[in-house]
Structures are given as C-alpha cells and as structure tokens.
Amino acid sequence: MTANSAKALVLPLAVLAAFEVWARATHLQSDSLAPPSEIVMALFGAFADLSILAATRDTLFSTFAGLAIGTIIGLALGIAFGIFDTLNRLMEVTVEAIRPIPSIALLPIALIALGFGYRMEIVIVAFACVWPVLILSRAAVRSIEPRLMEVARALRLPPAQRVWKIIVPAALPRIFVAFRLSAGIALIVAVTVEIAINPLGLGAGIMLAQQALRPDLMLAYLVWIGAIGYALNVLLVVAQNRLFGRAALSGDGA
Amino acid sequence: MTPCFPMKYMIKKNIDKQDRKMCHGEIVVKKVLAALVVSVALTGTAFAQAKIQVGCTATSDCASAMVAIDEGIFKKHGLDVEMTPIGINSNIPAAILSNSIQIGGPTSTVFLQAVDGGLDLVAIAGATVMSPVNQDSIAAFVRNGITIKEPKDFAGKKVGAPGLNAFLHVLFVKWLVEKGVDPKSVNFVEVTFPTMADIIKSGGVDAVLTAEPFVTRMTNAGLGSVGARYAVELARTDPIIFYAASREWADKNAAAIKKFRDAIAESAVIVNNDREKASTSIAKFTKQPIELVKATPPNRSEPALKPEQLGWWIEVMSSQKMLQSKLDTSKLVLK
C-alpha cells in the first residue's frame, strides 16, 4: 500500500470511528442503522453460515450470464450497424425508442412471463447490457482506420473474415471499455432485480435482513456488494491492461 | 496479410510485428467468445420443480404452512412443500401465475384486486383471520409533538402506511369513514415497517399505521404514543391472509389441495396452541430473532375459508373504489 492510498483511507476510517463512538454514546436504536462493529460481526456471521456466499454465487451467476448474453447481442448489432450504414439508419429510431426504457420497468412483465429465478434476472440484466455495448462498439467500428478496411478489400477478404480478422481486433480495446461499463451496470441491475422481486441473491438478502429487523446484516450485505463491485472493476481494469497494453488507453475515455 | 500461425512460429519466422499484434487480437477475441459461450450454456440449466412452492412474505401469517413443514405434517400427508420468501405481498399473484410458486399467501386486498384485474386465482385454504388479539396489536402510532384525541384530528396529518391500498391502509380508511372523517383530508404516504421508527423519529411523518412488535419498540424508545387502536374498534373476524393458487393449477391438483387443506388444518391447531413451536418456525422462515417473534402476539390461524368471509372486504374495497367489477364470492373460494 502506497503512502497516498493509506492517506486516502484516513478520512473514511475516521468517519466510521466517529459513527461507532456516536452510536455507542447515544445507544443507537434503529431498524435501519447499526454501528460499524456490529456490521463487521454480522458480515463474519454471514460468512460463517455460508449464506452470503450462496447469495453471492446466485447474484454473480445472473450478473455474468446476463452480461454475456447482452454483450454478444450488443456486439453483433453494434458491428452490423457500424459496417452497414443503411442498416444503422433504418434501425436508429427503433434503437433510440427501446434504449431509454429502464430495464427495471420490465420487471412486472418479466415476472409473469418468466417467473422467479435466474432466467428472469438474466433477461433483465442482458437487456440493460446490450445498449452500452451496442453504442460503443458501433462507434468503435466506425472509427477504424480506413486503411485497414482498404487492406481488407485489397486482400478480397469475405465479409465474415473481414469482421473476424480486421474489424473486431482493431475495435477490441474500445469494445472492452464498453464491456467494462456494462459489467458495472450488470451488477447494479442484478441486485436491484433481487431487491424488487427475485427471492435470491444478495439483493434478496438485503430485503430479508431488513424485514427481519437486522440492520447490521442488511448493511453487511451492502458493504459486501460494494466490495464485489470494486473487485469486479479492478479485475476488469487489470484484464484490460494485460490484454491490450497501451492500446487500452485509446478507448478509455469512459 | 499473413494468416494467423501459432505465436511462437510467427516470432521464429520473424513475421511482421503488426501482423502478430493483429493475430494476438484474434486470439483474445476467441478466448473472450469461448468464455461467453460457456456462460451462456450455463444459463440454459433448467431448474426442475418437483415440490409445491408456497410463497409468503416474512410475516407470521403463513405460520400454519411453516409449522406444517417443520413438524413434518406435509410429509405425513404425502406432500413435498417448500416455502419461498416474497419481498412484497402484491408480487404474489404474478408469482403464482408464472408458476414460480404454486400456492401463495396474498392479503385479502391483494387477492381481490388481482382477481378484479382479471387474474384467474382461487382461494384454497385459510391462513389468518382478524381476532381481538391481533386487532389490539394494530395501531396508528403518533410521533411526539402531535396530539390525537379523536379521529378528526388525523385530518391534515401526514400518515405513513406500509402499503397504499394494502391491509392496514384499507382498514384505517374504513375506520375514518365510520368515524365521519373524509379520508381525502389525510395525506397518506408509503413507509415500510423497518423504516417506521426512524421516520417517526425524524418527523418525516406525523403517524404510521403499524402493528406489533413495532408499536412496543417505538413506545419503549420514547418516539411517540398510540393515537388510535382502529382495528379493535372495527372488531372484525374476516381473513387477513389466505392460501391461493391459480384456478388452472387447482383444477389439475385437486388431490394435492385436499392433502394441503388437511395438513394446514392440523398445523393450525399447533399455531394457535403451542406458542413455542409456532415461534420457532416463524423465526426460522422470517429470520427474525426468536425473542422478537415471541414478543409479538400471533395472528389467529383459521384453516377454513368460506366464500361469505370475503364479502366484507369486497364491500369495503368497493366503497373505497378499489374494485372495478362486481366479484362473485362463490367463485373466489375453491369448493
């Protein structure tokens, strides 16, 4: 840990310590707040009985599956729209009409059509993930160096090979940035679906802890979700740097 | 452009760096796609549903089903039953229709609104009914600084209900009407049970419609006082929550429903007479601390449900313009 990152921790730790002292001094009685020490104990307890691990598995499964499906669909459409300008113009109204629909607004329909469980959550997460990937990959494809496309034409590469050998590798760093953006969205949407409807995963854990009048456990889940989100982002940044090196910087405007 | 040979070969043959980089990109694409395909394949896993899933909110109202599971009563009757916790009661009808749960425990208001809206649901057994014990535990809790001497004092106040058009809200509006107070003069907002104490403390609302254990907890914390025990004054014995299924599932599973009813009747006796066993099962399902469950007066379990018992609710909800059609009580409860 560098001196700078240690310094950055001072303020949040001081706030937590102050909150702990205040909670103890005032004998805090709340169904929504708990002293940090109790939150830590609740987190250990949830690890000990494996409940938080099972919930993490459920949430991450839906997150990654939804992210995968959303990325594949978004990437395919983004590349197609990027290559074929006519298709892009034809679909623009449709895309712009569907894209603003909040994924969570689909919950009532999704519940009746798909029921509780992974399927419903994955569909909602995938819907949310399609758009950033679609928009960014379309922009990435359109900004490919024209000379590369000329090379493809000179080599008379068939369309599939043109996509596979030229377009995707050239646009990949920016596509990965879109993937990183979608990964954050996927986790947020998955937890929100669980809080709102789906009786599994970390979001459902928060709701159950709240209804059981266990604010310490509820906040422990919240802290854990934050840690997962942070870890996911770090993992993706490391992967981005390792896979693309300096090329990653070209797309990292997000 | 050079075709993509293995990287070692390309380095050995001194193939142009740009081409190697392009090939590296291709390999990365392949790896990423392979990972995605594996993830997608995993999502196709089907989750077989051999058990009867009973969906209830984290309250004591489905205690008869909880006890029937824990005491092996369902098993004794040849049923494999599992409880599914549902966050919000109004999600239960949709969960039943999607077959995520086969039997649910909606409140009377949620059930009647769902049927009124066109969902083909049918009540199959009783769960809990209003009784003097639980009516006494229902209250409008008023924050410090607000004085409620009579029902008309609620006019102009901001009152938090755990669900608008839900059980406690509908009862309170009925009480206001009976006392000659226009419900429109009260400003209702939604406040969930776990946040009531904090919102009352902060003065965010003037009163909350609540029940035990929240009344005792807020009283002990000195946050205010009971403004009205409105449910006691209504003195009703109508159902609070009952077990419901889709008509299609009920028609196809007549034998299972008979067994379910027998098991619920047997376990209701335990719920009403053995507080220890009931509390243990409730704490297990709701994850509430056992001391808290024991301190809360239990709702009376009543396994029998007659069509006419829904008549009062239909009348009250119709008068509050919550129902659009005229519901036929004889079709609401399975014979």
Does the beta-carbon distance from B98 to A114 stay under 8 Å?
yes
A55-81 pLDDT tens trace = 999 999 999 999 999 999 999 999 999
For residue A27, pLDDT over 70 is answered with yes
Q: What percentage of residues in chain A have a pLDDT greater than 70? A: 95
Cross-strand pairs, B170: none
Q: Closest to A199 (Cβ–Cβ): which among B40, B87, B98?
A: B87
pLDDT at A159: 83
Does the beta-carbon distance from A196 to B87 stay under 8 Å?
yes
What count of CB pairs under 8 Å joins A to B? 122
Which residue has better confidence, A131 or A148? Answer: A131
Does the beta-carbon distance from B100 to A172 stay under 8 Å?
no
Q: Crossing angle of helices A168-196/A215-244, nearest 10°?
A: 170
For residue A1, pLDDT over 70 is answered with no
Q: CB-based contacts of B141: which residues, under 8 Å, 6+ apart?
A: B196, B200, B207, B208, B210, B214, B215, B218, B219, B223, B224, B225, B226, B227
B246-283 pLDDT tens trace = 999 999 999 999 999 999 999 999 999 999 999 999 99
Query: What are the chain B neighbours of A195 within 8 Å (beta carbons)?
Result: 87
Compare all CA atoms of chain B with the CA of A151 and give the residue at the minimum distance: B1
pLDDT at B212: 83
| Chain A closest-CA separation from residue B315 CA (Å) | 28
The 3-state secondary structure of B86-152 reads: CCCHHHHHHHHHCCCCCEECCEHHHHHHHHHCCCCEEEEEEEEECCHHHHHHCEEEEECCCCCCCHH
DSSP string, B172-217: HHHHHHHTT--GGGSEEEE--GGGHHHHHHHTS-SEEEE-TTHHHH
pLDDT at B268: 95
Spatial contact of B239 and B126, defined as CB atoms under 8 Å apart: yes
Compare all CA atoms of chain B with the CA of A179 and give the residue at the minimum distance: B32
Distance CA B108, CA B314 (A): 9
Distance from CA of residue B287 to its chain's centroid? 15
pLDDT at A234: 92
For residue A26, pLDDT over 60 is answered with yes
Distance CA B178, CA B182 (A): 10
The arithmetic mean of pLDDT across residues B8-18, rounded, is 56
A222-233 pLDDT tens trace = 999 999 999 999
Tell me, what DSSP letter sits at residue B309?
Answer: G
Query: What are the chain B neighbours of A164 within 8 Å (beta carbons)?
Result: 26, 29
Does the beta-carbon distance from B286 to A65 stay under 8 Å?
no
Rg (CA), chain A: 22
pLDDT at B19: 56
Compare all CA atoms of chain B with the CA of A153 and give the residue at the minimum distance: B1
Does the beta-carbon distance from B87 to A117 stay under 8 Å?
no
Does the beta-carbon distance from B194 to A151 stay under 8 Å?
no
The arithmetic mean of pLDDT across residues B277-291, rounded, is 91
Sheet holding B52-56, edge to edge: B81-85, B52-56, B103-104, B239-246, B121-129, B300-301
Give the pair of three-digit tokens for residue B276: 């220890």
| Chain B closest-CA separation from residue A126 CA (Å) | 11
The arithmetic mean of pLDDT across residues B97-122, rounded, is 93
| Chain A closest-CA separation from residue B330 CA (Å) | 26
Query: What are the chain A neighbours of B57 within 8 Å (beta carbons)?
Result: 211
Query: What are the chain A neighbours of B198 within 8 Å (beta carbons)?
Result: 30-33
Domain locations in chain A? 33-251
Three-state secondary structure call for residue B303: coil
Spatial contact of B77 and B262, defined as CB atoms under 8 Å apart: yes
Does the beta-carbon distance from B194 to A31 stay under 8 Å?
yes
Does the beta-carbon distance from A164 to B29 stay under 8 Å?
yes
pLDDT at B14: 58
Q: Which of B19-23, B66-70, B172-176, B254-258 has the lowest mean pLDDT?
A: B19-23
Residue B184: pLDDT band with limits 50, 70, 90? very high
Query: What are the chain A neighbours of B56 within 8 Å (beta carbons)?
Result: none
A135-185 pLDDT tens trace = 999 999 998 888 888 888 888 888 888 888 888 888 888 888 899 999 999
Q: What percentage of residues in chain B have a pLDDT greater than 90? A: 58
Rg (CA), chain B: 27
| Chain B closest-CA separation from residue A73 CA (Å) | 11
B125-155 pLDDT tens trace = 999 999 887 788 899 999 999 989 999 999 9
Does the beta-carbon distance from A30 to B286 stay under 8 Å?
no
Three-state secondary structure call for residue B52: strand
pLDDT at B41: 45
Spatial contact of B303 and B65, defined as CB atoms under 8 Å apart: no
Q: Which of A249-253, B154-158, B185-189 has the lowest mean pLDDT?
A: A249-253
A193-235 pLDDT tens trace = 999 989 899 999 999 898 888 899 999 999 999 999 999 999 9
What is the pLDDT of chain B when averaged over all its residues? 85
Distance from CA of residue A207 to its chain's centroid? 21
| Chain B closest-CA separation from residue A196 CA (Å) | 7
Q: Closest to B288 (Cβ–Cβ): which among A32, A168, A212?
A: A212
pLDDT at A73: 97
Which of 1.25.40.10, 3.40.50.720, 1.10.3720.10, 3.90.650.10 would CATH assign to domain A33-251?
1.10.3720.10
Distance CA A74, CA A70 (A): 6
Distances (CA, A) of A98 to A63, A68, A90: 21, 20, 14
Which residue has better confidence, A150 or B41? Answer: A150
The arithmetic mean of pLDDT across residues B119-127, rounded, is 95
For residue B197, pLDDT over 80 is answered with yes
Query: What are the chain B neighbours of A70 within 8 Å (beta carbons)?
Result: none
pLDDT at A254: 40
Distance from CA of residue B282 to its chain's centroid? 14
Sheet holding B158-161, edge to edge: B187-190, B158-161, B207-210, B139-143, B224-228
A72-115 pLDDT tens trace = 999 999 999 999 999 999 999 999 999 999 999 999 889 888 98
pLDDT at B31: 54
pLDDT at B4: 52
Distance CA B82, CA A136 (A): 45
| Chain B closest-CA separation from residue A197 CA (Å) | 6
Does the beta-carbon distance from B85 to A208 stay under 8 Å?
yes
Q: What percentage of residues in chain A have a pLDDT greater than 90? A: 56
What is the pLDDT of chain A when averaged over all its residues? 89
Compare all CA atoms of chain A with the CA of B198 and give the residue at the minimum distance: A30
pLDDT at B42: 43
Distance CA A70, CA A64 (A): 10
For residue A190, pLDDT over 70 is answered with yes
Q: Crossing angle of helices A201-211/A215-244, nearest 10°?
A: 160
Q: Which domains does chain B have, with CATH numbers?
A: 52-130+238-332 (3.40.190.10), 134-234 (3.40.190.10)
Torsion angle, CA of B95/B98/B100/B106, rounded to 10 degrees? 30
Query: What are the chain B neighbours of A151 within 8 Å (beta carbons)?
Result: 1
